[in-house]
Structure 1
Amino acid sequence: MSQPILIWGAGAIGGTLGAALIRAGEEVIFVDSAREHVDAINGKGLKIVGPVFEEVVRAKACLPEEVEGEYQRTFLCVKAHHTEEAAKALVRHLAADGYVVSAQNGLNERVIARIAGDHRVIGCFVNFGADYLEPGVVQYSGRGAVVIGELDGRFTDRAEDIYQLMRHLEPKALITNNIWGFLWGKLIYGALLFGTALTNDSIADVLGNPAARPVLRRLALEVATVAAINNVRPEAFDGFDPAAFGPLATPEQTKASFDEMVAHNRQSVKSHTGIWRDLAIRKRRTEVDAQLLPVVEIGRESRVPTPMTARLIEMIHEIEDGKRPLDLANIDELARAAA
């Protein structure tokens, strides 16, 4: 049997991924900072619920300070704003020929590469639906795109190995020479999702709302413009077409992409984003700074104004601080940032 796979972060993404790998016969060790979650996994196993598969898988779990040994294959699956802390802890357990796969949201590969080295990071794009429900329980809500790629665009044996592993999670997984295009595509889509999280409505309901669409389209255009000016070619996935939100998009293109995204999200039992869950249920800080602030900063360096993205970040913080309610009216206020 091959060496164990270390999955750092056993929540929605890491838990679902780890369970799929265990079901495929791989040995997995989970690392998580929540003692109750670690205890539950060690005591009763990790329970996966939802429409894709339901199963209790058995694996060793430990807190970051309890990790021992070195590992070649590691996945970093923590929230984006915990990336730096987690990467610094993980790299101490990375074998000389080891690598880190960033199964997260945002441009976290840049952070990990600064800590571990560019050559020890493999890019990863995930868009499946999942939620952490309670200690020891993760909901796998619906399938979504999964893509693997080296940061420099090369096709390598290690990337191929990871790609084959990811096919146990998503049979339609891809390997690409344009992983940055997928990551920036997810940033554009992610801006739309942060927009939906300003409300209590579902992802599909907000994306399908005719009054919200023009606002969200202008928000997405800001992120798409920053990508374009930096010579990034965003990739399409799960109904999201980056060209539909670029400066040359026709109304028909934009409508078609919105409609396809609505259809994709209606297929999932995950009705709201993890962002919304953080704001409305778990009452904790979101990933907004780690995901969207780099867009503002790169935009500033590139002389691309991003007023709506900057205002969206401020509004999410106001909700986090209890100074703003979740309400559809927030979409209208976001529109005023463009003026």
Structure 2
Amino acid sequence: MKIAVMGAGAVGCYYGGMLARGGHEVVLIARPQHVEAIKRDGLRLETRSFDEHVRLSASSEASAVEGANVVLFCVKSNDTESAAAGLGKYLGPSALVLTLQNGVENADLLRTLIPQEVAATVVYVAAEMAGPGHVLHHGRGDLIIEPSRSSEDIARRFSAAGVPTEISDNVRGALWAKLILNCAYNALSAIAHLPYGKLVQGVGVPPIMHDVVDECLAVAKADGVSIPGDPHEAVRRLAASMSSQYSSTAQDLSRGKRTEIDHLNGLIVRRGEALGVPTPVNRVLHTLVKLIEGKRAGTAQS
């Protein structure tokens, strides 16, 4: 199977590296500094159980997706439209695009932008780029995908390559479950600049997380979303399974990049307003991250 990874940051590099290590032909479409390092040394994939340099292809051009059977669409939610425009003329009509992104709206948006089949995907992985061409894996690495014409084959192949993959008829609910985790952790980790394990030990943090989850559940209920499992328990468990992980929002702020907070707590605020559900805690967290984001952007420009 030929697999192209569009937007190969930490998430894309981890999954691309695992699939290449499992024998698939993989090309990473990434930033030039990562491409240069990968072409020179291979992708360094550092996990808790191994630290290897994986040989695979890398390019900074969207044309590298040509001939791919599967595309892992891993760009930031803010970049979905621009990245989709780059795919159109190169992607074959039978290719399947999996949206490995934060937020709950990306697959629906992507379906309006490209003719290929799109399957919404829920990502559970803790990873970061530790340097050019070097991905550091902190925990998990499983996927949930919605049914498609080739989902069973993909789930079997991915799982055999060390990427546990489940097919679910309620991917919308699973995406919301992941969104709730992100709403509980991302902004707080970014504001405090703390990893999850230390964050939850902060005075008053668990009650704030509980309030965030309650607001998210109220919005989801009003929106007709059926969320699997117990989100409160999932939030409590996450810090133990990813204790050293900084949120993607924290990582973006530390690098002076625009965050995805509008697609996380910001989405809860917008949907709450539309549905008449108050979301004061999510609103405060969203506002604080936007203030920090704006301040750092201004500092970078000055």
Q: Deviation of residue 168 (structure 1)?
A: 4.0
SS of match in other structure, 1:197: helix
Specify the alignment match of 1:22 in structure 2: 20
| 1:235-283, Cα deviation, whole Å (9 max, x unpaired) | 34xxxx32x3xxxxxxxxxxx55542332223xxx33222212223x12
* Cα gap change, 1:169 to 1:221, in 2 (>3 Å): farther
SS of match in other structure, 1:167: helix
- Give the Cα separation in 1 of the matches to 2:283 and 2:161: 35
Q: Could you tell me the TM-score, scaled by structure 1's length?
A: 0.80
- Give the Cα separation in 1 of the matches to 2:29 and 2:68: 13
Specify the alignment match of 1:12 in structure 2: 10
- Give the Cα separation in 2 of the matches to 1:47 and 1:273: 21
Specify the alignment match of 2:241 in structure 1: 264
SS of match in other structure, 2:287: helix
The one-letter code matched in structure 1 to 2:58 is A
Tell me, yes or no, if the aligned pair for 1:52 and 1:143 is still in contact at 8 Å: no
Q: Deviation of residue 172 (structure 1)?
A: 4.2
Matches within 5 A, 1:35-54: 35-54=32-51
Give 2:194's match in structure 1, choosing from 201, 215, 219: 201
1:320 aligns with 2:293: yes
* Cα gap change, 1:257 to 1:67, in 2 (>3 Å): closer
Q: Deviation of residue 133 (structure 1)?
A: 1.5
* Cα gap change, 1:91 to 1:66, in 2 (>3 Å): closer
Tell me, yes or no, if the aligned pair for 1:53 and 1:140 is still in contact at 8 Å: no
Specify the alignment match of 1:231 in structure 2: 224
* Cα gap change, 1:314 to 1:259, in 2 (>3 Å): closer
Give 1:149's match in structure 2, choosing from 138, 146, 149: 146
Give 1:133's match in structure 2, choosing from 103, 110, 130: 130
Q: Deviation of residue 169 (structure 1)?
A: 5.5
| 1:279-318, Cα deviation, whole Å (9 max, x unpaired) | 23x1222111233333322222222222322222211011
CA-based RMSD of the aligned residues comes to 2.2
| 1:20-71, Cα deviation, whole Å (9 max, x unpaired) | 1111110011112x21111111222111113143211112211135536343
- Give the Cα separation in 1 of the matches to 2:54 and 2:200: 35
Tell me, yes or no, if the aligned pair for 2:253 and 2:259 is still in contact at 8 Å: yes
- Give the Cα separation in 2 of the matches to 1:110 and 1:184: 14
SS of match in other structure, 1:106: coil
SS of match in other structure, 1:316: helix
Q: Deviation of residue 210 (structure 1)?
A: 5.2
- Give the Cα separation in 2 of the matches to 1:19 and 1:68: 16
- Identity, % of aligned positions: 28
| 1:150-204, Cα deviation, whole Å (9 max, x unpaired) | 3xxxxx4411122123314555432111111110001111001122321133212
* Cα gap change, 1:69 to 1:82, in 2 (>3 Å): same
Give 1:212's match in structure 2, choosing from 196, 205, 218: 205
* Cα gap change, 1:105 to 1:18, in 2 (>3 Å): same
* Cα gap change, 1:184 to 1:225, in 2 (>3 Å): same
Specify the alignment match of 1:57 in structure 2: 54
SS of match in other structure, 1:321: helix
* Cα gap change, 1:303 to 1:52, in 2 (>3 Å): farther
- In structure 1, the gaps of 5 or more residues are 151-155, 245-255, 324-339
1:161 aligns with 2:153: yes
SS of match in other structure, 1:235: coil
- Give the Cα separation in 2 of the matches to 1:231 and 1:65: 37
* Cα gap change, 1:27 to 1:68, in 2 (>3 Å): closer
* Cα gap change, 1:68 to 1:144, in 2 (>3 Å): closer
* Cα gap change, 1:293 to 1:92, in 2 (>3 Å): farther
Specify the alignment match of 2:100 in structure 1: 103
Q: Deviation of residue 137 (structure 1)?
A: 0.8
The one-letter code matched in structure 1 to 2:246 is H
Q: Deviation of residue 12 (structure 1)?
A: 0.7
- Give the Cα separation in 1 of the matches to 2:287 and 2:239: 26
Q: Deviation of residue 110 (structure 1)?
A: 2.2
- Give the Cα separation in 2 of the matches to 1:80 and 1:276: 16
* Cα gap change, 1:198 to 1:141, in 2 (>3 Å): same
- Give the Cα separation in 2 of the matches to 1:138 and 1:116: 30
SS of match in other structure, 2:45: strand
Q: Deviation of residue 125 (structure 1)?
A: 0.8
Specify the alignment match of 1:249 in structure 2: none
* Cα gap change, 1:122 to 1:259, in 2 (>3 Å): closer
1:176 aligns with 2:168: yes
Specify the alignment match of 2:250 in structure 1: 276
- Give the Cα separation in 2 of the matches to 1:121 and 1:16: 21
1:298 aligns with 2:271: yes
1:189 aligns with 2:181: yes
- In structure 2, the gaps of 5 or more residues are 297-302
